[in-house]
Structure 1
Amino acid sequence: MSENANRNVILIHGFLGSPQNMQLLGDKLQDSGLDVYYVKIPGQDPELESELLFAYTYKDWLKSIKDQIEKILCEIKTKNSSSTTSYLTIIGFSMGALLSIILYKQMNFRSNIKTNLILLSPAFYINKNFFPSPFRSFFGVVSKQKYKMKYTNPGCNHPRWKNYYKPITRDIPYRAFFELYKLSKISRYIFKKLSCRILIVHSKKDVLVPYEKIVKFSNSVKKNNCEIVLLEKSNHFIQLDFDYDKVCDECIKFMEKTE
């Protein structure tokens, strides 16, 4: 990538999270010379009351993130001269990875902004031992019930997660899980049709999203532009866990390959 290129990164956090979960990664990317932007999924902030999750569907999540990205693209265009190519990498974590896939398909990125995707622990498949099943979630939606989640550990083995994730107990509407499952299904379908360069970073010790299913799914898609990096030590929150440095390095290395 040329030195005079505008290099930009958009970070999308995951389910029931906030931009704070991506701050550690964002700081290091910014230190490497990238312009970093954060977007916020509505209704997901742990500080908010769980009732607010009733108000949002996956379409609302997508619309909000799309509107935020459009504003970022306008800012990139403003700072970019006509003679300079801009590079944009959307880095989505967990559910944020699913949103980034769908948004890439929906949005018409400008011809002078070359866009690629990095998917961190993409939630294509979810461990039903930790989340209610799609079947249970559906009936929870009908009956307007809630599912109690206790955040003793959000899927991170390194103690640094405590600085970037607030552990709380919440009664989560089943509808939120049901919308997540719909996102997962749609993103798997769209993923097969994408033509951009994609990097998947996933850990073998991820308890929330089994890595075997991710590898099998990605390998089933005959794509030469999808790379997979597997980690050995981390849990789900790879951007905060023991392999954090490797995650950052792999992201930077992937972006440096952009021509």
Structure 2
Amino acid sequence: MAVLPGAEPFRHEGGEVGVLLCHGFTGSPQSLRPWADRLAAQGLTVSLPLLPGHGTRWEDMNLTGWPDWYAEVDRELRALGERCSRVFVAGLSMGGALALRLAARHGDAVAGVVVVNPANKVHGAAAHALPVIRHLVPSTKGIASDIALPDATELGYDRVPLHAAYSLRVFLRMVDGELPQVTQPLLLLRSPQDHVVPPADAARVLARVSSTDVTEILLEQSYHVATLDHDADRIFTESLAFIGRLAPHAGKEGTATVG
């Protein structure tokens, strides 16, 4: 199945500091591409993979699950580790949960974590019915494009595939149990007005990680997909400052060519 225009993965060969960006559930690299471009322009090595089942048709996603999504980012992290001296992981929504699990499992191979509106739980009345309802109904209404900025849109599915949603529920429960293993510096940015992930999810992440270097920033003007919203530039600037503090020579030896 052909990848939707704009949903393609992105890679940039920069300097010795790398960043792995993880997109969200039913989304695509498009939601993080401006962030990837900013990091690349500063000379960082950047990887923004397309998760299996995403960026084509929602029906394709129902044939995948969390082991497929996690395996993709795990593979990209290992590749960056071979190329770079320091690697940071970052993500939006489910991508934040993927980034946190990478940090929990890879330890010192991850220099720091940046998450935007990280998901910690599948919410809603139907969440507990997912084990059964997924066999009766293939999909439900989509969650893409929760953005305050007029005319800004997220390239994501207009339906949520329920087999995949059940797998996400299993994954988030597992990640919640692994959060105490996260010890790296953490930058968490969240939108008080988020119609997809409630504030309780970020609060749960902050309460359970073992990191001592933790920064929380509120994105007052944005909804869930804050990387495409009013506060996008703040996300890019704060993440670069975070990386620069922990890896002072980040981007110094890289190029500024985006491609």
What do the CA deviations read for 1:18-75 (whole angstroms, capped 9, x no partner)?
A: 1111111111122223222211210021xx2322223212112112222233233333
Cα distance in 2 for partners of 1:216, 1:167 equals 26
Distance (whole Å) between structure 2 residues aligned to residue 231 and residue 179 of structure 1: 29
Alignment of 1:1-259 (within 5 A): 6-45=16-55, 48-76=56-84, 86-107=85-106, 115-128=111-124, 133-141=126-134, 143-150=135-142, 154-159=145-150, 161-162=152-153, 165-166=154-155, 169-170=158-159, 172-215=160-203, 217-219=205-207, 221=209, 223-258=211-246
Shift of 1:168: 5.5
Question: Is the contact made by 1:144 and 1:174 (CA closer than 8 Å) also made in structure 2?
Answer: no
> Would the aligned equivalents of 1:40 and 1:65 in 2 still touch at CA under 8 Å?
no
1:217, distance to aligned residue in structure 2 (A): 4.7
Structure 1 residues 102 and 219 mapped into 2: Cα distance closer, same or farther (>3 Å)?
closer
TM-score by length of 1: 0.80
Q: Does the 8 A contact of 2:107 with 2:182 survive in 1?
A: no
Question: Alpha-carbon deviation of 1:201?
Answer: 0.7
Kindly, what percent of the aligned residue pairs are identical?
21
Tell me the distance in 2 between the aligned counterparts of 1:182 and 1:66: 18
Counterpart code for 1:133: A
Alpha-carbon distance in structure 1 between the residues aligned to 2:243 and 2:142: 37
Contact 1:91 1:119 in 2 (8 A): yes
| Gapped regions of structure 2 (runs ≥ 5) | 1-14, 248-259
User: What value does the CA root-mean-square deviation take over the aligned residues?
Assistant: 2.3
Cα shift at 1:93: 1.0
Offset at 1:13? 0.6
2:221·2:230 contact (CA, 8 Å) conserved in 1? yes
Amino acid at match of 2:101: I
- In 2, Cα distance between equivalents of 1:229 and 1:186: 26
In structure 1, runs of 5+ residues without a counterpart are 77-85
Deviation at residue 213 of structure 1 after TM alignment: 4.3
| 1-structure distance, mates of 2:105, 2:201 | 26
CA contact (8 A) 2:190 2:217 kept: yes
